Amino acid sequence: MNEIYLLNDWLIKEFQKNELVNTISTLPSLQIDTQLANIYPLVNLDLQDTDITESQILASYRITIVQQRDFKTSQTDNKLLTDSNYIDNVSETHSIAHKLLNKLLRDHNEWNIEITSQSTLRQLKDWSRNSLDGVQFDLELAIPNQGTIC
């Protein structure tokens, strides 16, 4: 197995371990919400680009984590205008991202995968055609260059 395969496999397995995640995809970011059969929360790993140095392989990802927004049709006496589950969605998707980032920042893994850079978590509000909420961030990971090829 080469290093890019190992990076993808490791990320997928980490998200599979998370009980909040229902679906994992590896599509271009613009194609995430095209499947009507998606079960949310959904995590999408979009490999953007890679770089090879003598000592490591770098891979840049755009990670999108989304949950479907539900709207309440009944009126409530609540002073807080909560006609949807937006706050729940933001909390849930942020938690999924938080767990992955903590794993990378605090724990050693068998492949010595490390974060070399990360963006802030951008909030997605009523995003795409299925009214999705969530977070999206860019993440660059490094893995030692073992010289393996397919």
Over the stretch 68-82, which tens digit does the pLDDT of each residue have? 998 766 666 665 556
Q: Averaged over 27-55, what is the pLDDT? A: 91
* SS3 state of residue 95: helix
Identify the pLDDT of residue 33.
78
pLDDT, one tens digit per residue, over 87-139 is 999 999 999 999 999 999 999 999 999 999 999 999 999 998 888 999 999 99
Identify the pLDDT of residue 94.
98
Identify the pLDDT of residue 80.
56
| pLDDT more than 70, % of the chain | 91
